[in-house]
Amino acid sequence: MRPLIIANWKMNPANSKDAFDLARAVVRGLEGVEADVVLCPPFVYVPQLLPSPNVFIGSQDAFWEQEGAYTGEVSPLMLKNLGCSYVILGHSERRKLGETSQMVAKKIQAVLDAVLVPVVCIGEDIEREMNITLKDIKETDVSKIVFVYEPEGAISTEPNAKPASLEQLERALNRMRTLLPKTATILYGGSVNSRNIQGFMGKGVQGALVGAVSLDAQEFIQLVKNAVSM
């Protein structure tokens, strides 16, 4: 299986030169590596990052309309026109700022309409979050979505963060699979690093959503290589 590893840079780095250098190091270090990698920088750096045959560009959010009077928002269509191919939606850090599953549902549809791949984060409240977010999405579209099981307490920057145990991951995957088509892509997110990625992959996820470690080019490259050599 070809792993899919998505880098969530969050609100980092602080300047565009560092963003450019980080992306360049990752692209070079992963040349010829049999994995699909997506770099999701803050919106402002999207135009300067160039995709390679195995490193794609994504964003960390998008609005649910394609254009109009929505101060401060960025649309899926704009991201598509800048070369993005993936959009992270419903991350728990955005939910904490007030984003609801109903809002995530509208964003998923808009991202699909722009022919981009939604990367939808699902926390511990699996059934509730999935039922609301998928309620109005066509069955054929559900298989175009990448799902990420990402329990909030596993995110490395949370106080007392702990990655999900392999048993917890297995239980969550079983719950998610009962609600999804067989072909659905499911990733794991939360304190993933080069040493623990193989354990998570061994439970049947197709890859990972990586935060803190994705800001360290060498450690991130090693993580991707370890995912490939499963």
Q: Which residue is nearest to ligand PGA (CB)?
A: 211
Question: Closer CB to ligand PGA, residue 87 or residue 213?
Answer: 213
Least distance from ligand PGA to the Cβ atom of residue 1, Å: 21
40 binds ligand PGA (CB under 6 A): no
Question: Closer CB to ligand PGA, residue 112 or residue 212?
Answer: 212
Is residue 34 flagged as an active site residue? no
189 binds ligand PGA (CB under 6 A): yes
Select from 5, 8, 23, 151 the one that contacts ligand PGA (CB under 6 A).
8
Q: Which residue in this structure is represented by tokens 């808009």? A: 110
187 binds ligand PGA (CB under 6 A): no
Is residue 91 flagged as an active site residue? yes
Query: How many chain residues interact with ligand PGA (CB under 6 A)?
Result: 14
For residues 103-119, b (16+ Cβ closer than 10 Å) or e, as one string? bbbbbbbbbbebebbbb
**Cα 129 to Cα 167: distance, rounded to the nearest angstrom:** 21
209 binds ligand PGA (CB under 6 A): yes
197 binds ligand PGA (CB under 6 A): no
155 binds ligand PGA (CB under 6 A): yes
User: What amino acid positions are annotated as catalytic residues?
Assistant: 91, 150
- Chain residues that interact with ligand PGA, rule: CB under 6 A: 8, 150, 155-157, 189-192, 209-213
